[in-house]
A = this chain, B = another copy of it.
């Protein structure tokens, strides 16, 4: 489709939906109560479209989109693009959850409360932690919540002077950014030659100013840090807390647990490991697990059970308070519960094992492609993902990793390079999860191989890709020019007119 913008489709007078009519006895002019300054004068310049025109527009846009359901979606490494079971979507679509108001009396919400209560126990068992908050809206919000709890913990002990947080470069940028936002100085550890965060650097960095270590394991490279317990100990030794970013937990379910390595806090992304759909970038859901010492600081309310009924407990004086409205992204919490319930302990372990098998199989096949490598820990296995490098290919052909990804889009798949900075040069991060079959992985490798070969044979075609997508290469410079960028149609028209 070459679908125009909604605004270009507008046809004055058309209606997409009609609000309920005003019945006799209701005052059609009630809005005239408003003071003149607060009364809208001219209608909003929204487009005017019949219902099927709106529908058609968005259906066409949907077809101009990939999605985990449509493609072999293993190219968004660190994102754990696993299958989100359709049955779980349908379970949450009915009015028994969709039309539930968060301020209802607990008596009228016993079903959803029981699910939240059970989900918390499941995640506590999976992480080894004592309690789990389901309130954060996604992974970064969970990191923020953990940082907030860390801050509250230290303050409660009169150690508010601790003003440094340590993280690693292969941990998600939100670890550094949330700590900074909370007022901490951020110390970032870089990998040693083996790709592990540098333990000596950590030991040099810790002090009585250390509030916490925020660390991922396996990191975005897929390499499990075998000395992780030593990292935790080093931080504990100076009175700091250890916080485990378990966004990448898919390879270790039932294999190893955050608490067992001594962590005080951890978080999961329920939209990653626990299968809730990624939704173009949310709504998602995050879960923060904490040890007993941190429990008083959990966001409020918590879900409690008195043996007969479930209820929300808002009376938590040491709590960091609310990190989002109400009790969390309930539909995703129900989905995550359903997913765990459908697999059980044995199933979760199989998820981890097959995710790891898929990843190592994929790595074996990918490394046969000309110009690619998997930096660090040569010859060692990876857990659930691998950060590859096209450095050799780039040097030999001038084609960059990003270009290869664009060209892959022409074949109906894609990949994501990596978070900045590109510590691994010309990166590409693949994470096959447990959801894709051997056949799928082989197809993906074949596409990557074809694209790489093309880079050697006909680099221009790759560099100027995509060619078969809905759209062609952006002229990126506009996006950083305040005089030209256009975040809305009204801004675009204004700037265009000014030209």
Contact = CB atoms under 8 A, between A and B. Distances in A.
A460 to B, nearest CB: 24
Contacts of A83: 51-52
B85 A51 contact: yes
Interface in A1-47: 1, 9, 11, 14
A190 to B, nearest CB: 38
B51 A437 contact: no
7 contacts: A11-B439, A50-B437, A52-B69, A55-B69, A56-B71, A59-B69, A60-B70
A314 B52 CA distance: 41
A439 to B, nearest CB: 6
Nearest to A49: B437
A53 interface: yes
A69 B56 contact: yes
How many residues of A sit at the interface, in one of the four size bands? Answer: 20 to 34
3 cross-chain pairs, A with B, having the tightest CB-CB distances, nearest first: A52-B83, A59-B70, A59-B69
A156 interface: no
A55 B436 CA distance: 13
Given A9-B439, A60-B70, A63-B63, 12 more contacts: A1-B412, A11-B437, A11-B439, A14-B437, A52-B435, A53-B437, A53-B440, A55-B86, A56-B69, A56-B70, A59-B69, A59-B70
Contacts of A379: none
A68 to B, nearest CB: 8
Q: How many copies, total? A: 2
A50 B83 CA distance: 10
A94 interface: yes
A420 to B, nearest CB: 31
A435 B56 CA distance: 12
Nearest to A62: B63
Contacts of A438: 11
Contacts of A94: 94
A316 B430 CA distance: 68
A438 B59 CA distance: 20
A49 to B, nearest CB: 9
A439 B12 CA distance: 12
A323 to B, nearest CB: 33
A5 to B, nearest CB: 14
A265 to B, nearest CB: 33
Nearest to A17: B87
A86 B34 CA distance: 36
Contacts of A9: 439
Nearest to A63: B63
Nearest to A440: B53
Contacts of A85: 51
Contacts of A86: 55
Interface in A76-114: 83, 85-86, 94
Interface string A448-471: 000000000000000000000000
A51 B70 CA distance: 13
Nearest to A68: B52
Contacts of A1: 412
